[in-house]
Amino acid sequence: MSVLVGKKAPLFHADAVTNGGEFVENFSLEQFLGKKHVIFFFYPLDFTFVCPTEILAFQDKIDEFEKRNVAVIGCSIDSKFSHWAWLNTELKEGGIKGVKFPIVSDLTKAIAENYGVLAGEYDYNENGEMIFRGAPVAYRGLFLIDKEGIVRHQLVNDLPLGRSVDEAIRIVDALQYFEANGEVCPANWKKGEEAMKPTHDGVASYLGKK
């Protein structure tokens, strides 16, 4: 599995569905360069159990991301048609109707592979036949990408483990605070709290406030 923090986020052009049902061809992260921070997250499959709870949780907090000038983008290995069907299925029937942010189709699994979150790999068996070892879906990867296209935060959960949307917002706040003020954010820092100057004196000053 790759560690992408500090590196350029792998770019791609792929089909996506946005605004709850609009097909988009050649969707790319390039459109956000110089304009927005991006939360780009992977989930295993449409029409499953943990996945809709995460996607709906992101939608519930979408205003919080938007007021921070952050684009939220989901991605799985399902087709754009599966995404469209799920986006147009009522919540009581297991759907995610009402979700407006883009969901990318990684049908070839190339995006998940490039981000290091594919939960398996292609191999050959003893008969020389190509097989897939592991699960042919993405782990629950989440990447915070800055306006320069650099990955600044990376989180990867195993398939059964849902993520915290509030933690994603906290990490956005920490990065944006650092970018604006040049001060670093200590453990459990939240917006509005004291940060630290990146010096020994700054550490001592912070610890003295505890």
Residue at 7 is within a domain: no
Q: Are residues 21 and 126 in contact, defined by beta-carbon separation less than 8 angstroms?
A: no
Residue 75 among the catalytic residues:
no
Chunked mean pLDDT (size 10), the chain, 210 residues: 92 97 97 98 97 97 98 98 98 96 97 97 94 96 98 98 97 96 93 84 53
| Measured distance CA(93)–CA(98) in Å, rounded | 13
Within-domain flag for 8: no
Task: Give the C-alpha separation, 49 to 143, whole Å.
Answer: 22
Q: What SS3 state is found at 114?
A: helix
- Using an 8 Å Cβ cutoff, are 13 and 103 in contact? no
Tell whether 152 and 209 lie within a shared domain.
no
| Domain count across the chain | 2
Residue from 51, 142, 156, 169 carrying the catalytic annotation: 51
In a domain, 97, yes or no: yes
Q: Has residue 180 been placed in a domain?
A: yes
On whether residue 2 sits in a domain, the answer given is: no
Assess whether 138 and 182 both reside in one domain: no
CA distance 107 to 16: 11
**Count of CB atoms within 10 A of residue 180's CB?**
8
Residue 88 lies in a domain: yes
Specify whether 168 is located in the same domain as 183.
yes
If asked whether residues 178 and 108 sit together in one domain, one would say no
d(CA 113, CA 129): 21
Give me the sign of the Cα torsion angle 26, 9, 95, 65. negative
Together in a domain, 121 and 146: yes
Residues 98 and 173 in one domain: no
Query: Parallel, antiparallel, or unpaired: how do β-strands 37-42 and 140-145 relate?
Result: antiparallel
> Do 134 and 176 belong together in one domain?
no
- Return the beta strands (E) in the chain as ranges: 14-18, 22-27, 37-42, 70-76, 103-105, 118-124, 130-138, 140-145, 151-157
pTM: 0.93
pLDDT of residue 2: 83
Residue 19 placed within a domain: yes
Q: Which domain holds residue 205?
A: 164-210
User: For residue 150, is it within any domain?
Assistant: yes
Residue 142 to residue 144: CA distance in whole angstroms: 7
Q: In this structure, are residues 77 and 45 in contact, taking their beta carbons and an 8 Å threshold?
A: yes
Strand partners for 22: 18
pLDDT of residue 204: 47
Give the C-alpha separation, 98 to 88, whole Å: 8
State which of 161, 183, 201 marks the end of a domain.
Answer: 161
